[in-house]
Amino acid sequence: MSSYTLGLIVLVYVFALAGLSWLGFRHTKNAKDMLTGGGNMNTIVMALSYGATFISASAIVGFGGVAAAFGMGIQWLCLLNIFMGVIIAFILFGKRTRRLGAQLHAHTFPQLLGRHFKYKPIQVLTAAIIVLGMPLYAAVVLKGGAVFVEQIFEIDYNIALFIFTLIIALYVITGGMKGVMYTSAFQAIVMFLCMGFLFFFLYRALGMGFTEANQALTDMQERVPAHLAQIGHQGWTAMPLTGSPQWYTLVTSLILGVGIGCLAQPQLVVRFLTVRSSKQLNQGVFVGSLFLLVTVGAVYHAGALSNLFFMKTTGKIAVEYISDIDKIIPAFINASMPKWFTAIFMLSILSASMSTLSSQVHVMGTSAATDIYADAIKNNEAKNTTYIIRVGIFVSILLSYLVCYVLEEGVIARGTAIFMGLCAASFLPAYVASLYWPRCGKRAAFWSMVTGAGASVFALLFLHQKEAAAVGLCRWLFGRDVLIEAYPWPVVDPIIIALPLATLVLIVLTYLQPKSNALIDKV
């Protein structure tokens, strides 16, 4: 496809986003509109926006690449995305969250926790974890989008990153939450159609049917490289050897980290505050589930089968043909799909990146501006809140942009898992308690969050081989990469340590202290 046609398609897409963002801007009159879209969003918009926020370029480019390397076992993540991320999240968390939010007039996740426990330090701590931790996740999403633009347009990565950041900055700062939700719902439709097409066209590219292609991939088991077989790889249609390093990475980091972590994602939780009643959430369960199955399920499946395609066309498996796993999916799409689809697919990657990123920077900006600056520092006396939120969003985007320059190769999926694990360990016990455990008090919630965040950071810096070795603090202090070198500790994800610890602290402190002053009868 000529660069002229490609440019035209992107231009139309950007104009559509600009129009929706303008619509959001027109309907944003006050801080509530800016934070939760006025609290009366439509079912379809809410569910699609939730799905699009959930599925980032990281899920497509990063985890699709992981599927190419690890195989179809990553489908468990798709299952957890649907089961935990939509069914459990909407039915068991969403309804109560919405009711609690309405009751407490909470418009952000930190406000929800802080006001429920009637303890401002909880609100500030939640906001601080978001502001400090989310730039890593936002940066990997940004990188995912920029890498794809770099590959497709064949332009310099730095230019791709800059343009990409600029577009997101413009429409999030102007459109607020309404702009974010309108654009992400539109982007979800683009993603849904593209991934659906990818799933069906994949078999045409391979020249095989569903079972035949899976069987051919199974038959490629002997092509697993020795270095992957050594760490537990048993082929692309089999789970890694139980207890092997690859099994720990796949199961504890990627599947559990992301699968459980998604329940306590501030940018997703805030979606529950944007609807008027539980009816919208009931209706959204199917829309969200279908969206995730088609988008995530298709790309993970395609990622694993890309090995078959590369073997047929180049005589090499995916990770031999392209060493950076973050570049496997873009390269596969480029090589296997019709040229016109490559351009359209690029829009779906851009959509995935933009929808997630816009929600991330919105949450970071509102946390910094509303929860820390306006609520905590100015004690709710700040004037012109919408302006402050816009400044907060701008600073968040700038921070994420800068973090992109310190990221190394193949970091997209891992960066996502780190942030989701941090969120789960820090927020999940207190969040669940706020919805279901009236006895839990503010100190138990606060120290549980401190423990979860602290244990996550400690495990990343001193226990988990990949991050601890990369940062080097443990080596500098103790002369070795990790504190506990005995297997499997260096490959056990921090969430496996931090989440139980945070939960334990919450339970013990709740039973040790007198009954809370933040009891609720039923939410």
Q: Which residues contribute to the site for other proteins (CB under 8 A)?
A: 71-73, 75-76, 78-79, 82-83, 86-87, 91, 95, 99-100, 102-104, 210-218, 234, 237-239, 276-279, 282-290, 293, 297, 514-523
Beta strands in 296-411 (DSSP E): none
Smallest separation, CB 176 to other proteins (Å):
24
Give me the least distance between CB of 517 and other proteins, in Å please: 6
Are 201 and 339 contacting, i.e. CB atoms less than 8 angstroms apart?
A: no
The CB-of-319 to other proteins minimum distance in angstroms stands at 19
Least distance (Å) from other proteins to the CB of residue 116?
A: 8
CB count in 10 Å sphere of residue 278: 16
CB of 390 to other proteins, least distance (A): 31
DSSP H stretches of helix in 367-487: 385-403, 412-436, 442-462, 465-471, 473-478
| 71 vs 429 by CB, closer to other proteins | 71
CB of 98 to other proteins, least distance (A): 9
> Which CB atom, from 81 or from 366, has the smaller least distance to other proteins?
81
Q: Looking at beta carbons only, is 58 or 516 nearer to other proteins?
A: 516
Spatial distance between the Cα atoms of 302 and 66, rounded to a whole number of angstroms: 11
The CB-of-212 to other proteins minimum distance in angstroms stands at 7
Amino acid, single-letter form, for residue 253:
S
Q: In the bound complex, what is the minimum distance in angstroms from residue 174's beta carbon to other proteins?
A: 31
Q: Which of 443, 393, 356 is nearest to 141 (CA)?
A: 356
Q: How far is the CB of 278 from other proteins (least distance, A)?
A: 4
Identify which of residues 188 and 354 has a Cβ nearer to other proteins in the complex. Answer: 188
Least Å from the CB of residue 79 to other proteins: 5
**Backbone region of residue 340 per phi and psi (left: phi > 0; alpha: psi in -120 to 50; beta: other values):** alpha
Place of tokens 């990343």: 460
Nearer to other proteins, 18 or 290 (CB): 290
How far from chain centre, in Å, is Cα 28? 26
**Residue number with CB closer to other proteins (158 or 215):** 215
Residues 488 and 466 sit within 8 Å (Cβ to Cβ)? no
- Measured from the CB atom, is 123 or 234 closer to other proteins? 234
First to last CA, the chain: 55
- Please, which residue, 37 or 39, has the CB nearer to other proteins? 39
Distance CA 197, CA 514 (A): 58
Q: How many CB atoms lie within 10 A of CB 423?
A: 33
For residues 378, 382, 385, 387, the Cα torsion angle rounded to the nearest 10 degrees is -100
Whole-number Å distance between alpha carbons of 307 and 90 = 36
331: its two tokens: 């390269």
Whole-angstrom distance, CA of residue 29 vs CA of residue 47: 23
Look at residues 484, 451, 487, 74 and name the one whose alpha carbon lies nearest to residue 253.
74
CB nearer other proteins, residue 239 or residue 369: 239
- The residue among 117 and 164 lying less far from other proteins, judged by its C-beta, is 117
Sign of the torsion angle spanned by Cα atoms 179, 182, 185, 186: negative
Q: How far apart are CA 464 and CA 468, in angstroms?
A: 6
Do residues 459 and 491 touch, judged by C-beta distance below 8 A? no
